[in-house]
Amino acid sequence: MANIVQFENVGLRYGAGEETLADLSFTLRAGSFYFLTGASGAGKTSLLRLLYLAQRPSRGIIRLFGEDAVIMPRERLPGFRRRIGVVFQDFRLVPHLSAADNIALPLRVAGMSEASIAQPVREMLAWIGLSERAQSRPATLSGGEQQRVAIARAVIARPEILVADEPTGNVDPAMAERLLHLFDSLHKLGTTVVVATHDLHLMNRLPSAQMMRLEGGRLLDPTGALRHPPVRIEGEDGG
């Protein structure tokens, strides 16, 4: 299975203080599912920001889709970012757009016709249980409803990488299970999924996922599954 993400001796420092992330070296395989966990302040959000190209590292090499993302010219970054779906912890919905238009946004940016956009948006609204709120703006939606719209927007274009920061933090357990099923289905279709979460119950629902654990800005890898190059375990199903 091809490697879609490679970190080599990556460090991240904000300002003149100590490094927030230090000596990160790991490989993520295309089409695999990873949970990212760790205590508050361990650096999970910072690591996700590096993954979706919102932040450049202070040192080290990051390769995405086989290319060095650290030295990539800025004009090429938007095209790379369109290959990555992101679920932000604070949603970041466009306030003047309806729920349907927020979900449709990645498809419109990609240049799809309105005729091609309508059906997948309707299907996604139905799946997240918000068909009747299609024309509602974010300010009129509850936190859980906004979270569902944000997730639908991130996955509708079937990104090659999906990065989600606490995606089930504002939904009830039943919806959390549905969202996990959606993420699992995407990864089985070939999307590399990285979900940051504190929810042990959620992680236990998908025992085939690999675990990434941050402590003090350093990545712990007890199984060896994230080493570069990755270690293949005999009989492993690759999921």
Pairing of strands 161-165, 192-196: parallel
> Residue 140 CA to chain centroid, in angstroms?
26
Cβ-contact 193, 43 below 8 angstroms: no
- Sheet of 192-196: strands edge to edge? 84-87, 161-165, 192-196, 33-37, 210-215, 218-220
Looking at residue 123, the DSSP 8-state letter turns out to be: H
What residue segments make up the domains of the chain, in order of their start? Answer: 84-156
34's tokens: 């990873």
Query: In the chain, pLDDT over 90 holds for what percent of residues?
Result: 62
What confidence score (pLDDT) does residue 175 get? 83
Reported as a single tens digit per residue, the pLDDT across 61-82 is 999 999 999 999 989 988 888 8
What pLDDT is stored for residue 198 in this prediction? 84
What confidence tens digit (pLDDT) does each residue in 127-176 have?
899 999 999 999 999 988 999 999 999 999 999 999 999 888 878 888 88
pTM of the model: 0.86
Pairing of strands 59-64, 218-220: unpaired
